[in-house]
Amino acid sequence: MTGDIKLLTAARMRALDERAIHEIGIPGVVLMEQAGRGAVRIIEEAGWLGSFDDEVLLFAGKGNNGGDAFVVARVLLLAGFRRVKVVLLATCDTIGGDAKVNLDAFIRLGGQVEELLSEACWQGLKPSLKIKKLLVDGLLGTGLNSNVRGLYATIIAAINQFSGPVLALDIPSGLNADSGLPLGDAVRATVTATFAFAKPGLFVYPGREYAGHIEIIDIGIPKSWADEEDGVRLLTTDFCRPLLPPSPKANGHKGRRGHLLSFAGGKGKAGAGLLAAGAALHCGCGLSTLALPTTVAAHLEGRNPALMLEALPESVDGCLMGLSAVALEALILGKTALAVGPGFGLNRRNSELLAALLSDCCLSMVLDADALTLLAATPEIMPKGRPHTILTPHPGEMARLLKCESRDIQNNRLACARELAVKWGVYVVLKGAGTVIAAPDGALSINFSGNFLLSTAGSGDILTGIIGSFLAQGLSPLAAAQSGVFLHGLIADHLLAAGQTHGVTAVELGRALPGTLSVLAGGLNG
């Protein structure tokens, strides 16, 4: 997926359809024609139909999604495909508006339409699915807001057992266009041809698994209109590349490339600190200092020669001791950003240190792991409105922060990320497949990069180091979060493309970071 892509909710998309009709004067039937013809181009380019005798079955509902299917059926018929059939889950005389125009045109050309109104009729048709070359889903569009039931549910289940390609029109039937949740059940498409602008539900999991490959079809609505809408940003290479820090200059100096201070890596979790602070250097930060308990620091001396270590006072049991305001100020002096949390520890002194950093330090910071657990337990330590702070919770941590269950988070990732960002006045990176980024003003982004290789211990520590590094190099919190999340996912994409499917750890992710960053930044400065 390339380009600068905005994702629009179902309601906003309907508003733009109406605007195109009334402001520009493009009839709705023309918009529908463009949508259907774009879907046929996908069929042609995919090469799914090798013969004019290949059988195509299109499922149509009684709304505009069905109208799109009628256009596809007619255009295929005109192209010479002789065995094109539409199954309509309504009677022809109940179809109205633009959909009726296209239904009538298909019938006048000799197109075959079967009205499917009962389970008995379906049982008679179902065996024929085995000989079809292609199924086209035009059952239910983006307006669906209740669970799929009855005959619709039965047919969706049958489509999902089909062994050949399935093309969904605009959105897989049964999928919520905004949340990406299946409403009871949803079609699992090979390709989704989405019209004018993509919808958030196609990119938020589990919706992305149902959508398959996504193609955005231009139907004549100006792309500039999306910029006027409160849409969701899709993070792509084209969008994230300009956000990156500039490449080092020939006469540059490490002192001008940022200095990240990481409070990470306590007793038994020293690796988390090494991963985060090391990733910061791999991301171009000029200097990276890792602050951790004295005994842990002694054991880590020389493990990464490029890192600087700062030993923090500790008690006999290895827990942090208190830091005076003067000592903390001296520690922060000269740093340009902070990262706090990976392997940090959860005792009272850790909580006090985090509270002091939040209240007294004006540097941008990224909080992860233990820092988030401490925040969930003592939310009062978070000052109201701290827009230079980024929180990076996974769903479990997010649930603790919002005092709910993980399933509540996963069922509405966009809304939950926005709720916490607006409530606390911070940036929120809700990790997971299709990571969501929310800004204090409620603006949302969804990440398009990444795969299962990121599901490994320490992967989040690498992300913390990346974002912290970008903050230290002067990026705004939003740019650091967006570009950092995309780069993190891109590492996994590159490793997978190189054939690495098993045994990838966070160590390999860190090692691949410089090369991936170089590819992402390619051409940025010339």
pLDDT band at 525 (very low <50, low <70, confident <90, very high): very low
Output the pTM of the full model.
0.93
Distances (CA, A) of 266 to 30, 262, 280: 63, 12, 18
Pull the structure tokens for residue 150.
């009855």
Identical fold for domains 5-232 and 254-521, yes or no, is: no
pLDDT band at 522 (very low <50, low <70, confident <90, very high): confident
Query: Comparing 31-45, 214-228, 277-291, 485-499, which segment has the lowest mean pLDDT?
Result: 214-228
Q: For residue range 448-479, what is the model confidence (pLDDT) as tens digits? A: 999 999 999 999 999 999 999 999 999 999 99
pLDDT at 182 over 60: yes
Distances (CA, A) of 406 to 396, 409, 412, 432: 5, 5, 10, 12
SS3 content of the chain, % helix, strand, coil (to 5): 45, 15, 40
Quick count: other Cβ atoms within 10 Å of Cβ 486? 26
In the numeric block, the tokens 């990464």 are attached to 304
> Is 456 buried (19+), middle (13-18) or exposed (0-12) by CB count in 10 A?
middle
pLDDT band at 250 (very low <50, low <70, confident <90, very high): low
Average pLDDT, stretch 333-353?
Answer: 95
Q: Which CATH architecture has domain 254-521?
A: 3-Layer(aba) Sandwich (3.40)
What pLDDT was estimated at residue 3? 78
Average pLDDT, stretch 136-144?
Answer: 95
Q: What's the whole-number average pLDDT of the chain?
A: 94
What pLDDT was estimated at residue 253? 65
What pLDDT was estimated at residue 252? 66
Average pLDDT, stretch 509-519?
Answer: 96
What pLDDT was estimated at residue 479? 98
Average pLDDT, stretch 142-161?
Answer: 94
The residue type at 119: E
Q: For residue range 411-449, what is the model confidence (pLDDT) as tens digits? A: 999 999 999 999 999 999 999 999 999 999 999 999 999
What pLDDT was estimated at residue 90? 96
Q: For residue range 96-111, what is the model confidence (pLDDT) as tens digits? A: 999 999 999 999 999 9
Q: Which ranges of 47-110 does DSSP label H, i.e. alpha helix?
A: 64-78, 97-108
pLDDT at 322 over 90: no
pLDDT band at 247 (very low <50, low <70, confident <90, very high): confident
Q: What span, in angstroms and rounded, lies between the C-alpha atoms of 311 and 296?
A: 8
pLDDT band at 523 (very low <50, low <70, confident <90, very high): very low
What pLDDT was estimated at residue 229? 75
What pLDDT was estimated at residue 526? 33
Domain ranges for the chain, please list them.
Answer: 5-232, 254-521
Average pLDDT, stretch 383-411?
Answer: 95
What pLDDT was estimated at residue 1? 73
Q: What span, in angstroms and rounded, lies between the C-alpha atoms of 517 and 484?
A: 10
What pLDDT was estimated at residue 385? 84
Q: For residue range 34-82, what is the model confidence (pLDDT) as tens digits? A: 999 999 999 999 999 999 999 999 999 999 999 999 999 999 999 999 9
Strands 166-169 and 191-195: parallel
pLDDT band at 244 (very low <50, low <70, confident <90, very high): very high
Quick count: other Cβ atoms within 10 Å of Cβ 5? 22
Write b or e for each residue in 75-92: b if 16 or more Cβ atoms lie within 10 A of its Cβ, otherwise e. Answer: bbbeeebebbbbbbbbee
CB contact set of 231 (below 8 Å; sequence gap of 6+): 6, 7, 8, 9, 12, 197
Average pLDDT, stretch 211-229?
Answer: 92
pLDDT at 351 over 60: yes
Q: Residue 467 belongs to what H/E stretch?
A: helix 459-472
pLDDT band at 288 (very low <50, low <70, confident <90, very high): very high
Q: What span, in angstroms and rounded, lies between the C-alpha atoms of 96 and 66?
A: 11
Q: Are 139 and 59 in contact (CB under 8 A)?
A: yes
Strands 232-235 and 112-115: unpaired
What pLDDT was estimated at residue 43? 98
Q: What span, in angstroms and rounded, lies between the C-alpha atoms of 311 and 302?
A: 14
Q: For residue range 162-173, what is the model confidence (pLDDT) as tens digits? A: 999 999 999 999
Q: What is the DSSP string of 25-51?
A: ---HHHHHHHHHHHHHHHHHHHT---S
Average pLDDT, stretch 293-306?
Answer: 92
What pLDDT was estimated at residue 167? 98
Q: Are 68 and 198 in contact (CB under 8 A)?
A: no
Average pLDDT, stretch 385-389?
Answer: 91
User: Domain spanning 5-232 has what CATH number?
Assistant: 3.40.50.10260
Collapse the DSSP code of 272 into the 3-class scheme (helix H, G, I; strand E, B; otherwise coil) and give the result.
helix
